[in-house]
Structure 1
Amino acid sequence: METAQVGFTIAIALAAGVLAQSIARQLHIPGILLLLAVGFGLGQSGLAWIDPNTLGAGLFGIVDFAVAIILFEGGLNLEKSRLRRQELPILQLITIGALVTLFGSSLAVKLFLGWSWSLSLLFGSLVVVTGPTVIAPLIRDMRLRPNLKTILEAEGVLIDPIGAVLAILVLNLTLTTQTATVVHEMVDLTYRLGFGILMGTLGGFLLGGILSVRYLVPSGYTNIFTLATVFLLFHASDHFISQSGILAVTVAGMVVGNLRTPVDRDLREFKDQLTILLVGMLFILLAADVHWEDVMGLGPGALIVVGALVFIIRPLNVWLSTRNASLSWQERAFIGWVAPRGIVAAAIAALTAGVLEERGMEGGAELRALVFLTIALTVGLAGLTARPMASFLKLRLGKRDRVAILGVEGLGLMLGKEFRERGVNVIFFDSDPKRCSEAEKEGFPVVFGDALQERTLLRAQLEFVGTTIGVTTNEHLNSMFVQQAHALFQVPQGYVSLEPFDGEKIPEHLHPHDGKVLFERPHDIERWAVRIRHHDVTVEHFLFQPKTEPDEVSTDSPETETLVKPTNGNAERSVILTIIRKKTIVPMHFKFELKNLDLATVAIYKPEREQALAHLAKAGWTVPTPLILEELLPQPHPPSPIEPSHTRPSTLPS
């Protein structure tokens, strides 16, 4: 019966956690708020469906597992190059800032709740952390300035292991009053930090090295292999020096994330999903163990403590930590405003309260209740006000209304001209100085260099780009360019050109991971580049008006699965470049669902124009009248200029 109760508790927590986060995502509210409410409702203060006490010591095993995976996943997302640019404020926030929060919060509890100094310091150590599980969802779609986003994300990941180790140190000091033991604990703190960093670095390089060797880990096993290794690293570190594992897995995540292993993308997606599952379950379990009577018993002094933490201690923390950093007052104000507490604070609070209760010491229930009240209020405040605050302080980026094209020559340049004519900003990437010069003569901003390197992408301000297009003769380069833009700058749309091949369907190995196949089918990019250089290509508009009889509709319609055919004959007489629908222009791509009266921009090979027109007519394309063309085309107007300082700095060699 007890085993059945344990299984039921975990099953309810898992299901309720995922459901609560799904609903929160749909409602655009912080998931932790709903998780706390559901946990209270299902716990001892509500329906009593969940009783974490039935798990016994197993609860802390679950906490260890979840925290290890969550912090490893957080470390995976920290790019070394981004951290280096904001190194000073990040370092000071997790050192000076942590101490300010520790002592400021402790003083507030002592003054307004009258707790003992030992219990006050315990609370101060528990609220030092913020956490990636609350920061990342909060700023995901906010489009903050890159430096601001980096600082908040890095602080959330790095402060968690530091805060956890600090909380354990304070707990151990609370349990003893001997001076020798105090000195011993301080020495142990140094060992924990150093050993955790060492184990995390070694473990990260070892794991990354294994994942980088093809076929060493069988296909399909990489994610579970990583999961097992991370958990082993966590407990192996703790086995040698207690409480060092939490820092070790964080550092290991950073190392693996920056090694760019071949399974990097799949690994990140798997960890994201697993983190959502674990965060939901853990918050439900921990919140269910908090009694509403304990929260209400704190009195109004608890609200004053949280208010002091939000409106006095956090701003003071940020001001002292960033006073010599190159941040504007608006950026400092926003960092000071956004500091929600997350899963690590809840987990360590539950652990600390349990230890105090086991030792027969008072204050465990009140400490846990105050930490959960702090989590609820700080997450609620940040979730409701962070977006409007960022807008008020003018820290959010503009719309993603630009197009970035890799490959100046041929069809790439034609695409750029079509977008520019319809008022869309276009920026080119290329590593050939001559082609870059030609594009600049055409009036386009160009970034010269390796488009796969982050420093090259940074010069193009990809945070303003909504569409990337890879249209070189190198399929792998096209795909990697789109993937890098999405991974580093979250560019939402990507298109890649493919070279011709035999067969009727795109082979699986040619499917781009993060991009749609450009044009209506793969084309010989080099052949079209030669034709365009010889002025053998014209650009014309065509209207899609398919025949009504189903048996007469051509199988070459882009809506069919068997669109792609051997690219000889008709296939290389024309290329559908763009589609204009409701006066909005988009690149043509494989499987684009055409609608009646869609307007296409088509590149046509002049020597075979008549054959190309016949082929287009068979597929449902007609030549529009001037009146219809004027009605469907967006009014041509020049796009807003892109600031030259961000697009032409040493773009070309002298």
Structure 2
Amino acid sequence: MKETILLGAAVIIGLGIFSQWLAWRISWPTIVIMSLVGLLIGPGLNIVSPQEALGEFYKPIIAMAVALVLFEGSNSLNIKEINGVTKSVWRIITVGAFIAWILGSLAAHYIAGLSLGVSFVIGGIFIVTGPTVIIPLLRQAKLKPRTAAILKWEGIIVDPIGPLVALFAFEIVVVMQDHNGNLTDLAMFFVGAIVAAIIGVIVGIFLSYVVKKQYIPEYMTTPVIFAMVLLSFALSEQVMHETGMLCVTVLGVILAKSKHFISTMRDVDHFAENMSMILTSTVFILITASLKRETIMEVFSIEIILFVLAMLFIVRPLSIVIATINTELSFKERALLGWIAPRGIVALTVSSYFASIMKTRGFEDAELIPAITFALVFITVCAHGFTLSPLAKMLGLAHEKSEGLLIIGANKFTYQFASFCKQQNIPVMVVDNNAKRLSIFEENGIEVHHGQILTEEKRLEMDLTEYSKVLCMTDSFVFNLLSYETLSKQFGTNNTFLLPVYLDETYKDETIPEFMKSHLLFKESAVFEDLIYKIKHGHEIVGEVSSGSRKLSVHDDLDGTLLFIIHKESKEISMMTTNRTIKTEKGDMLVFLKSNENTQSQMIDIEGEGSLNG
């Protein structure tokens, strides 16, 4: 029996990760794939029933996973993300959430036919969107920064508020019932919510203090923080059910602020992000696989379908339109926000709790809560998952999928490199902390950023969604290494490259890891000083169309230095590195640095040959 449960758990985790990969591979929304996989192995084929297999451990496991996902989301918040749209964000998470609660409750009563008590409880549950569904969508849609920031903040902040609103509505219903409640219960609700928030604040400040004073060794920082998150969540749940999410959200916000002055806190981010990805996919499959066939069949009721349509086309648009009157948002931004509001794990987990306690209070129609919740979750996940990206592109609020290049370092070579990319309509941005070096780039219409890029705060101020690859090409190999280490965490190691400065300084250095050597640009002799020398003496960057299919590497006998390849069919860019072999097809463009005796050297005025973007 134990072995069967162990195998089942491993399979579900594996299916969760497989769902993420498959979604990436076929360009489908991740949450849609996870939902379909869960339904297939659960009520579809009856292969597994996680709730029955895990028994009394099922709900605690789900609850702790949700707590960690919420903590990761709130811990990633940065107030600079919403610079320029602060008013809109606060309006949406307050006025917008209130309007959505009222309108959603009325829709549940008059369209779905639920009693007023159940309607106002379910209306509170349905104001949530949540990081478990919105973050995967944002990761794929490549929205422009401020629109993405609004959806992210709404999802994270409102997620713990929704269950509290539902609990508040429930306490009101209890008070209004004869002999079943009193005002003391209502007062205890507010006390419980305040206590949960206070626990989050105290634990957050405590952790910030002990980490800053180094009372915890660095290698134990992440485990201690995650243990304290779970402990705080459990303690708040003991005080009052459904307040644990508020506690961990507040705790995450406190720790997010401390990252500005405690560098060790930043190490938590990468572990938390990876853990959140695993937990999100696993929990989504656990919940959907545990649904009963009867619940799924109830979804096809005409009343439930009409209710979901009302939530999609009336409640959400009206709440956003009213909440964002006289704010910084444009009409197009309000239109997109008025459509996107997928529900996810929190709605599914919380609804079952309220369905059970309301049935014990005599509300027979509460048994419909799981079916209505699943209908709203599944339909919004599919509708918003498939439409977010195309709608955002149509409204001009997302970047087209592109192989943009982010170049670190302004010098003669990167000027020629960026100019060629611009001619080929490849998005390119050059970053340097020297304004004089960047002036020639700006004069020729090349996108530039003056300042640092290695700090997270500075990158938040930049719109980097167009760029998929980073080329570190300054005159300091130490800085190139530092840039590689920092930016590879955001762009991925396969999309981050660096350029050696002097011949033999890198290739024979045993301190450089082998995996990093595979990301050294161009051939071994094409180091920074060599490229600058060639540019000064008449070499130029040119493109040649491949006449057939072949495999190329920097070791081949080629006329010139092969820099990169633009694939005709996929429009992808393959950077040449010291040990890479790339297959080309007919029509692909091969980009070389070649000598041209008939071309005079362009004497561009760039102070120095690189940069130190401190």
Q: 1:435 to 1:223 in 2, by over 3 A?
A: same
Q: 1:408 aligns with which of 402, 407, 410?
A: 410
- Please, which runs of 5 or more residues in structure 1 have no aligned partner? 545-556, 561-574, 604-622, 630-654
Greater shift after overlay, 361-370 or 575-584? Answer: 575-584
Read off the aligned partner of 2:249 and give its amino acid letter: T
Q: CA deviation at 1:325?
A: 1.4
1:355-412 deviations in Å (ceiling 9; x for gaps): 3456675334311111111111111211233233223333322454654433223544
- What is the distance in 1 between the residues matched to 2:104 and 2:374? 15
SS in structure 2 of the partner of residue 95 of structure 1:
helix
SS in structure 2 of the partner of residue 113 of structure 1:
coil
Aligned to 1:504: 508
Alignment partner of 1:107 is 2:111:
no
Greater shift after overlay, 209-218 or 361-370? Answer: 209-218
Q: 1:40 to 1:471 in 2, by over 3 A?
A: closer
Aligned to 2:563: 578
Aligned to 1:565: none
Aligned to 1:609: none
- What is the distance in 2 between the residues matched to 1:460 and 1:53? 48
Read off the aligned partner of 1:300 and give its amino acid letter: I
Q: 1:111 to 1:94 in 2, by over 3 A?
A: same
- What is the distance in 2 between the residues matched to 1:600 and 1:37? 44
- What is the distance in 2 between the residues matched to 1:558 and 1:132? 44
- Conserved 8 A contact 2:427-2:466: no
**TM-score, normalised with respect to structure 2:** 0.78
1:577-606 deviations in Å (ceiling 9; x for gaps): 824567998654333326799967458xxx
Q: 1:518 aligns with which of 497, 521, 542?
A: 521
- What is the distance in 1 between the residues matched to 2:107 and 2:317? 15
Q: 1:400 to 1:209 in 2, by over 3 A?
A: farther
- What is the distance in 1 between the residues matched to 2:50 and 2:576? 56
Alignment partner of 1:349 is 2:348:
no
- What is the distance in 2 between the residues matched to 1:35 and 1:594? 34
Aligned to 1:283: 284
Read off the aligned partner of 1:245 and give its amino acid letter: G
Aligned to 1:539: 539
Q: CA deviation at 1:328?
A: 1.9
Aligned to 1:591: 579
- What is the distance in 1 between the residues matched to 2:239 and 2:495? 48
- What is the distance in 1 between the residues matched to 2:50 and 2:404? 53
- What is the distance in 2 between the residues matched to 1:352 and 1:100? 21
Alignment partner of 1:68 is 2:67:
yes
Q: CA deviation at 1:333?
A: 1.4
Identity score, percent: 26
Q: 1:449 aligns with which of 448, 451, 457?
A: 451
Q: CA deviation at 1:527?
A: 9.2
Q: 2:342 aligns with which of 340, 343, 353?
A: 340
- Conserved 8 A contact 1:158-1:250: yes
Q: CA deviation at 1:345?
A: 0.3
Q: CA deviation at 1:543?
A: 12
- Conserved 8 A contact 1:24-1:34: yes
- Conserved 8 A contact 1:88-1:325: yes
Q: 1:49 to 1:325 in 2, by over 3 A?
A: same
SS in structure 1 of the partner of residue 111 of structure 2:
helix
- Conserved 8 A contact 2:115-2:365: no
**TM-score, normalised with respect to structure 1:** 0.74
1:180-223 deviations in Å (ceiling 9; x for gaps): 9665455445445544444434434554566678895464x555
- Conserved 8 A contact 2:80-2:460: no
Aligned pairs for 1:440-479 (under 5 A) are: 446-452=448-454, 461-475=463-477, 477-479=479-481
- Conserved 8 A contact 2:141-2:398: yes
Q: 1:340 to 1:333 in 2, by over 3 A?
A: same
Aligned pairs for 1:107-506 (under 5 A) are: 107-177=106-176, 183-184=183-184, 187-204=187-204, 206-207=206-207, 216-217=216-217, 219=219, 223-239=222-238, 243-257=242-256, 259=259, 267-297=268-298, 299-357=301-359, 362-398=364-400, 400=402, 402-417=404-419, 419=421, 424=426, 426-437=428-439, 446-452=448-454, 461-475=463-477, 477-479=479-481, 481=483, 493-499=495-501, 501=505, 504=508
- What is the distance in 1 between the residues matched to 2:385 and 2:292? 24
- What is the distance in 1 between the residues matched to 2:142 and 2:506? 43
Aligned to 1:96: 95
SS in structure 2 of the partner of residue 363 of structure 1:
helix
Aligned to 1:81: 80
Read off the aligned partner of 1:278 and give its amino acid letter: L
Greater shift after overlay, 268-277 or 153-162? Answer: 268-277
Greater shift after overlay, 354-363 or 123-132? Answer: 354-363
Read off the aligned partner of 2:294 and give its amino acid letter: E
- Conserved 8 A contact 1:17-1:284: yes
- What is the distance in 1 between the residues matched to 2:286 and 2:318? 34
- What is the distance in 1 between the residues matched to 2:240 and 2:222? 27
Q: 1:155 to 1:527 in 2, by over 3 A?
A: same
SS in structure 2 of the partner of residue 144 of structure 1:
coil
Greater shift after overlay, 240-249 or 355-364? Answer: 355-364
Greater shift after overlay, 166-175 or 421-430? Answer: 421-430
Higher Rg: 1
- Conserved 8 A contact 2:538-2:597: no
1:158-188 deviations in Å (ceiling 9; x for gaps): 1111112222333344444479966545544
SS in structure 2 of the partner of residue 428 of structure 1:
strand
- Conserved 8 A contact 1:519-1:588: yes
SS in structure 2 of the partner of residue 63 of structure 1:
helix
- What is the distance in 2 between the residues matched to 1:453 and 1:269? 15
Q: 1:240 to 1:499 in 2, by over 3 A?
A: farther
1:63-88 deviations in Å (ceiling 9; x for gaps): 22111111112223333211343222
1:474-514 deviations in Å (ceiling 9; x for gaps): 4454455567767779999433334553762563469769x
- What is the distance in 2 between the residues matched to 1:83 and 1:184? 39
- What is the distance in 2 between the residues matched to 1:156 and 1:539? 52
CA RMSD, Structure 1 to Structure 2 (Å): 4.5
SS in structure 1 of the partner of residue 354 of structure 2:
helix
1:538-561 deviations in Å (ceiling 9; x for gaps): 5268999xxxxxxxxxxxx8579x
- What is the distance in 1 between the residues matched to 2:22 and 2:574? 32
SS in structure 1 of the partner of residue 140 of structure 2:
coil
- Please, which runs of 5 or more residues in structure 2 have no aligned partner? 545-552, 600-614
